[in-house]
Structure 1
């Protein structure tokens, strides 16, 4: 039986760029986009159309590069309250980006409708439907990011669902449930996502932030509940505490849940992708990052090293080479004979199959 396919939507160049200490050049964004395309993600969110000239320059420049698999996406918002779609400058910028796919965010939490937009619940729903319909009429593939969906669902489930339904009726190709504040718990994500999947007949996606340290777990729970589209960033960079880290999400979905994302062959380049992104941004790689960190498959305690030498599954949840990483043996006062033996062999001092006694 063929594994279920999960759409991979990378937002490193947009949401990732909102992280403290992160700033891409146009050239850097192009290099990152080409690397993501080679890696095999389905969609690359290139920037926030109309918010700054750099992102518009990127949308113009990237058209010169034929991509093999990925589609470039321009990000924007619904029309502003009290304004017609054709008169909204940000929507015109979204079209000027000339991408085949666009993502717009709209409010799904009544608190934001009243306190931030300062408009009526009815007008907010009209803003969503008018914008989606307009972009569909212009020939775009449209994703609707339901901003603050999970907070909105807890406060007023019927209104949060009404926001999704407004987008669907207007022709949205998919709706994406957003934990924009990043504070939801996995059980909450599962229950709300499951309800949405059962209620709607369009693909459902997930976009979460990491303010509670749950972004990867929440993404996995949403997929378990029926989401078929995942959004995240390379190395989890993003606003405040970051986004769901695709370097942890993708191998978890492939190796732990048997789902298809970019494919297992592509995942052998996962560590290289992680390092590439950090290099572009002049960041030091996180040595303790799951799957791709230098310490992810490092063993220090003597009993651990001895066990891994006998059977790697004893202390490794996946094969390091499956994500482009490698096993490392550390030597310290905690080391046993096996640790010293394996390190000696690594350094060319000993030989495979040598007995511990020979190395004393």
Structure 2
């Protein structure tokens, strides 16, 4: 029988301790729903007594009826007091959650230095706190803080701390590599020893300070841990926590453990990108499994091989984790790249097609001018569709636009005035924004909304400017890369000009064209399906 591994997500608690991450109560509710759909077993929501956002989250999450166990976080009781009188523990019980995680010291150095109490009192603090939770019918999880450092310094005391929690009825004993400095071979050896000493199930909680959090988690599971704690995209303090987006597929696809269903793991990429949007933290393109470049191929030899069999350069099928194969096209591209990309789009092209050579030459010329298509898939797709006769209906035609930027009462105000033609109808509109590009984006959407209402579901998720030739100073050409999303999909477009507004406009127009063409395609497919099922009246 396949070993079941419990997935404990702490994105909403430990993840928010990462630099630059701040989640509102609404954000936390949205993320909790997404995590629940992914199939994680525990969602640690925060400390119900630490701040107003967490208090609101625990009140609201009760009505969602999630499958995952919502878990509150706290610490063992204060020294020289009782659990019943500890306000933090009382608030955890009053929050009504079914499970709680308490962090407690397991390193004698921390007991003396941080808590400034005796080793015996610390053991009593652990025992009393977990006994209190169990008397209130809660599932109790002990996060043994700094356990591996403590074990290496004083193994007898570190194990005694674990036994104290176990004797009080703790349901899980989680070993924490809090400073992130332990190596995988050490993790495996120590976890195996702990498993031999204790009867309670073991969990693992690692940090990424040596970029070993995922490897350490896998080593712990190999030694007998059956709960893994981590965050989506590895968010967390300092260098981050163990990344569940790598841990889950490694355990399930590579190591044959059972974590979540195959249907749920196919949502992993979508969940990772959704949460990065909510957290307003851009995902690294080279992030394993779920990154935009995780299954991207650029070298001509690589592309030629994967066209024969994708296993030549892909360790798994990207669809297993909800990602997709991408063929990058640049000045380094050979015919294989162009052919593969065009075939992916359903375009009629082969190696003997003169247009293939022409489009390669055109791409090389455009990249010489400063365009970069390997980071702008949507612009590349539009280019290929035009070259090979794909559907490239002109959505609208620009007649003119104006930009006004002024500083008024200490505030910078940007306004864009846009005049476009849509199917012979002239539309003239204006909109403000927090910058010239935002104003231009708002004005263009406002003009198109009456024709394409779904355009309001699209928004810019990232905007980058790169100076191409710094020697030209303020007259230099710039390359603008815009990333857009509708939460289900993400696409990138590019524009180049010596005028940053014009470059931004190019990238913005490509983004809108790409989105609307794909909306039309989806709608057409839906109509075809309804017709086949006899659901359309003619």
**One of 313, 322, 325 as aligned partner of 2:323:** 325
Find out whether 1:296 has 2:290 as its counterpart.
no
Q: Is the contact made by 1:254 and 1:263 (CA closer than 8 Å) also made in structure 2? A: no
User: Tell me, what secondary structure is at the counterpart of 2:63?
Assistant: coil
Q: For 1:349 and 1:143, locate their aligned partners in 2 and report how far apart those are by CA, in whole Å.
A: 55
Q: For 2:290 and 2:131, locate their aligned partners in 1 and report how far apart those are by CA, in whole Å.
A: 41
Tell which deviates more after alignment, 152-161 or 330-339.
330-339
Find out whether 1:199 has 2:192 as its counterpart.
no
Matches within 5 A, 1:188-267: 188-267=186-265
Q: For 1:357 and 1:302, locate their aligned partners in 2 and report how far apart those are by CA, in whole Å.
A: 17
Find out whether 1:63 has 2:51 as its counterpart.
no
Structure 1 stretches of 4+ moved >4 Å: none
Shift of 1:349: 4.5
Q: 1:357: which partner in 2?
A: 352
Q: For 2:126 and 2:40, locate their aligned partners in 1 and report how far apart those are by CA, in whole Å.
A: 27
Q: 2:421: which partner in 1?
A: none
User: Tell me, what secondary structure is at the counterpart of 1:79?
Assistant: coil
**One of 122, 145, 148 as aligned partner of 2:146:** 148
Q: Structure 2, unaligned stretches of length 5 or more?
A: 358-538
Q: For 1:194 and 1:334, locate their aligned partners in 2 and report how far apart those are by CA, in whole Å.
A: 50
Shift of 1:332: 2.5
Q: For 1:219 and 1:329, locate their aligned partners in 2 and report how far apart those are by CA, in whole Å.
A: 32
Q: For 1:286 and 1:332, locate their aligned partners in 2 and report how far apart those are by CA, in whole Å.
A: 20
Tell which deviates more after alignment, 89-98 or 188-197.
89-98
Indicate the structure (1 or 2) with the bigger Cα radius of gyration. Answer: 2
Report the count of equivalent residues.
355
Q: For 2:345 and 2:173, locate their aligned partners in 1 and report how far apart those are by CA, in whole Å.
A: 53
Shift of 1:66: 1.1
Q: For 1:62 and 1:328, locate their aligned partners in 2 and report how far apart those are by CA, in whole Å.
A: 38
Q: 2:180: which partner in 1?
A: 182
Q: 2:31: which partner in 1?
A: 32
For residues 2-54 of structure 1, the C-alpha deviation after alignment (integer angstroms, 9 at most, x for no partner) is 31100011000000111111111111111111111111111100002322121
TM-score with structure 1 setting the length: 0.96
Q: For 1:254 and 1:244, locate their aligned partners in 2 and report how far apart those are by CA, in whole Å.
A: 16
Whichever structure has more strand as a proportion of its residues is 2
Q: For 1:114 and 1:28, locate their aligned partners in 2 and report how far apart those are by CA, in whole Å.
A: 39
Q: For 1:54 and 1:347, locate their aligned partners in 2 and report how far apart those are by CA, in whole Å.
A: 45
User: Tell me, what secondary structure is at the counterpart of 2:165?
Assistant: helix
User: Tell me, what secondary structure is at the counterpart of 1:317?
Assistant: coil
Shift of 1:347: 4.9
Find out whether 1:308 has 2:306 as its counterpart.
yes
Q: 2:17: which partner in 1?
A: 18
**One of 72, 80, 83 as aligned partner of 1:82:** 80
Find out whether 1:98 has 2:96 as its counterpart.
yes
For residues 87-127 of structure 1, the C-alpha deviation after alignment (integer angstroms, 9 at most, x for no partner) is 11111111122111011010011110000000001100010
Q: Is the contact made by 1:109 and 1:159 (CA closer than 8 Å) also made in structure 2? A: yes
Shift of 1:334: 3.0
For residues 122-147 of structure 1, the C-alpha deviation after alignment (integer angstroms, 9 at most, x for no partner) is 10001000100111011110000000
Q: For 1:295 and 1:158, locate their aligned partners in 2 and report how far apart those are by CA, in whole Å.
A: 46
Higher RCO structure (Cα 8 Å, ≥6 apart): 1
For residues 28-83 of structure 1, the C-alpha deviation after alignment (integer angstroms, 9 at most, x for no partner) is 1111111111111111000023221211111111111111x201000000001111
User: Tell me, what secondary structure is at the counterpart of 1:63?
Assistant: helix
Shift of 1:319: 0.6
Q: Is the contact made by 1:341 and 1:350 (CA closer than 8 Å) also made in structure 2? A: no
CA RMSD of aligned residues (A): 1.2
